[in-house]
Structure 1
Amino acid sequence: MAEQRDEWLGRRRMHLRLRFLQGESTGSYVTRLAARNNRPAQEVLRSMGTGPVPVDPQYTEMYVSRYARERLATLAGYTVAEMQERLIGLRDEFLMPKNAKDDWEWPWDARAGYIVQACSLCAARRGTRSPAWLILPDPWQVCLRHRRWTDNSRSTRHPYIDLGELAEVVRAQQRLNRIRKRLGPAGRWVFADACSILVRSGYLEDPAETKQWGALAAELGEQRVRPLAQFSRLSLLTRDLAWLEVRRLNGVLGSTEYQDWLPRTTHRHGYRFTEPLTVWHRQHRPLRQGIPHLSSGEVPASVDVRRATGHALPSPLAPVEELTCLPWVRMPNSMDRLFL
């Protein structure tokens, strides 16, 4: 039987507010908020309702009830809307069921996304010296400010990979950022299709066998290094798919442009990409009517995006396996719980 709630708890803001980290998990935020105010996490949770003892946020995400979300917003000194905007795990789709006996839970498997360590320098700029954790749709993050690659490794010896001498990885992330800015939500499904094409092409060679990545693979492990070794190719594929997709969605893709795209792109990436690029090309023919509003995310309710494009609008933590329209759904080197 759950402990009775004390309705007077959690109705006053804690003394010290906490700055948000982009993409932070709810569990990480609650843990940091408690530390910021020099209080145990369990004590803060008791001000949010009733539930199990806290779990280290490096292992899973924390999910809360509507009641606990309201109490947490009050404790943090923000509105519920502000909290939802900054912490994906507090959005309605991730709330606990209304009939749940507890006000929070820490399931072994996060319902969506990967737990990825935040850049420690970014966390320090926001007032925390302890590790902070993000909940992301991919098992890695590139911090362009500090040139660091973090992932869902739990390594204390190598919590991040320094990109100071890996300029191609930095350029790849910059390229992906430009694509997402230009395509809006569609940028995510284009990236997912590029992942699927990469898998199908067989472009998954062992990084330990290449001179460029061999030393890093020997130090960190081949599986951890493989996404970095493939990242530049992945971004280039995404760029080429985006070139066609942005014209298609804006309704300005002509038949000549469409026909010329496949041989040009196949030549650029090599013969092993011929078959998956051909399949993708057939599934992305010019639209009779474009959807120019898609890049801003403001699509009229009357527009059936899936029917028109073959893709659904992505939710914030949707993995590439759910977003791609291609049949090869495994991500290159999926790293879920690889290092636990």
Structure 2
Amino acid sequence: MVLQMPGLYGPRQPLPMRVLPLPGESTGSFVNRLAHANGLELWDFLQRVGQGTGSSSDVAARVAKYPQYTEMYVNGPGLEYLAMLAGQPAAVLRRALPGLAPRHRLPGDGDAVWKWPWQPPEGHLVSCCTRCAEGRGVREPAWWLLSDGWRVCARHSQWCDDSRTGPLDGLSLTKLPEVVEAHLERGRLQRQFGGSGEELFADAFQVAAEWWRTMPMVLRWVHRAWACELEDRSTRVMPLVIYPEAARLARLMLEFEQSDLRDTDARGRWLGKAEALMGSWELDVQAGKGPLLDWLHHHRLPADPEAQPADWSGRGRLPLAPGHRRLASTSGPLEQRSCLS
């Protein structure tokens, strides 16, 4: 941690070389690139975030050397100092860097403060798609701060995640166009139905994840893992291999949620369709029926638009069942946005 005197001793001008933040980039990644662009080691740069001395803690010094594992946080004055050094308005940095969001702001409006904990309190540091970064003039590794530990770059057919055991340029999806198409379908759901579309995808993803845990050797999943040269039972491969099935199941869940018919016959017909999909995917229907029944239980009653959460505007969103709303978050990683544990 570095403490700085307010106002009087703050930086007066930007560093000579400026860099632009990548959308969704971690603060630590951006600061690391800004330091290197100006010929500074990261720790040397941090001591220039205002006047004063760097932390005497050896642990803090070591942590700050690894922006691929850790994240930097600042208070209000610290953000102003960082914005001055970067030559960017603080508002621009806040929009681009999720680690600067108000909920992550350190307390205190006097001395400028930054902290670099060993692990982010929330989110995952995921390697940026190198081709996207290069298109913005970035020639060194950069990291996103994301709710989940992975992201698909549909433009460049890349799977990017928070693994540190493989190459930083991600995994090629050129042999798995169905994964890219599933990602596009997820985007369509979100554009059509807002947060409700994303929450239904989260439900479907949780069901498919449970299927994978129950029967990881399904051939389609094994073949996808091999196509990316990954071990077929590794936890790293799970979100990648189940993505197509999750996207298709989400669309089926949407059909059920759009209907007001929730009686026993309607639930039975929907379950039959879901089981038919499982059969077409060569999944064991009996082994995988449980999560589907759990989902139907939470969605057995139609939605009440009057009882939607406070942030629900109604524009482009689909009211979801009360059983879903009681259990699922409207933000955060997929497991929190699902009504299934």
1:124 aligned to 134, 137, 145, which one? 134
> Secondary structure in 2 aligned to 1:181?
helix
Output the TM-score relative to the length of structure 1. 0.78
Whole-angstrom CA distance in 2 between matches of 1:199 and 1:163: 20
What is the percentage of aligned positions where both structures have the same residue?
Answer: 32
Once the two structures are TM-superposed, the CA of residue 74 in structure 1 deviates from its matched residue by: 2.5
What is aligned with 2:254? 242
Higher RCO structure, 1 or 2 (CA under 8 Å, sep 6+): 1
String of CA shifts for 1:78-118, please: whole Å, max 9, x gaps.
33332222111101111223399982222222111111100
Counterpart amino acid of residue 333 in structure 2: P
What is aligned with 1:276? 291
Counterpart amino acid of residue 24 in structure 1: E
String of CA shifts for 1:198-224, please: whole Å, max 9, x gaps.
24445541479966246447x433313
Once the two structures are TM-superposed, the CA of residue 119 in structure 1 deviates from its matched residue by: 0.7
String of CA shifts for 1:18-61, please: whole Å, max 9, x gaps.
22322211100111122233333334323324654323211122
Does residue 289 of the first structure (1) align with residue 310 of the second (2)? Answer: no
Mapping 1:1-340, distance limit 5 Å: 4-5=4-5, 7-49=8-50, 51=55, 52-53=60-61, 54-98=64-108, 103-155=113-165, 157=167, 159-201=169-211, 202=213, 204-206=215-217, 212-213=223-224, 215-216=226-227, 219-222=229-232, 223=234, 224-245=236-257, 247=258, 253-254=260-261, 259=267, 260-270=269-279, 271=285, 272-284=287-299, 285-289=301-305, 293-294=313-314, 309-310=325-326, 314-315=330-331, 318-326=332-340, 328=341
> Secondary structure in 2 aligned to 1:173?
helix
Maintained 8 Å contact 1:48/1:68? yes
Q: Which has the larger radius of gyration?
A: 2
Maintained 8 Å contact 1:184/1:294? no
Maintained 8 Å contact 2:68/2:143? yes
RMSD of aligned residue pairs (Cα, Å): 3.4
Whole-angstrom CA distance in 2 between matches of 1:89 and 1:214: 32
Q: Aligned pair in 2 of structure 1 residues 9, 276: CA closer, same or farther (>3 Å)?
A: same
Counterpart amino acid of residue 275 in structure 1: G
Whole-angstrom CA distance in 2 between matches of 1:262 and 1:119: 38
Q: Aligned pair in 2 of structure 1 residues 127, 8: CA closer, same or farther (>3 Å)?
A: farther
Maintained 8 Å contact 2:78/2:112? no
Gaps spanning 5+ residues in structure 1: where?
329-340
Whole-angstrom CA distance in 2 between matches of 1:3 and 1:281: 53
Maintained 8 Å contact 2:173/2:179? yes
Aligned length: 314
String of CA shifts for 1:152-188, please: whole Å, max 9, x gaps.
1113546411111211111111111111212222233
Whole-angstrom CA distance in 2 between matches of 1:310 and 1:237: 22
Maintained 8 Å contact 2:200/2:254? yes
Q: Aligned pair in 2 of structure 1 residues 66, 116: CA closer, same or farther (>3 Å)?
A: same
Once the two structures are overlaid, the 10-residue window that deviates more, 103-112 or 126-135, is 103-112
Gaps spanning 5+ residues in structure 2: where?
280-284
Once the two structures are TM-superposed, the CA of residue 226 in structure 1 deviates from its matched residue by: 3.3
Once the two structures are overlaid, the 10-residue window that deviates more, 65-74 or 182-191, is 182-191
Maintained 8 Å contact 2:72/2:115? yes
Q: Aligned pair in 2 of structure 1 residues 244, 98: CA closer, same or farther (>3 Å)?
A: farther
Whole-angstrom CA distance in 1 between matches of 2:225 and 2:173: 15
Once the two structures are TM-superposed, the CA of residue 191 in structure 1 deviates from its matched residue by: 2.6
Once the two structures are overlaid, the 10-residue window that deviates more, 126-135 or 226-235, is 226-235
What is aligned with 1:333? none
Q: Aligned pair in 2 of structure 1 residues 264, 4: CA closer, same or farther (>3 Å)?
A: closer
Counterpart amino acid of residue 314 in structure 1: T
String of CA shifts for 1:98-151, please: whole Å, max 9, x gaps.
399982222222111111100111111122211001111111111111111111
Whole-angstrom CA distance in 1 between matches of 2:79 and 2:322: 32
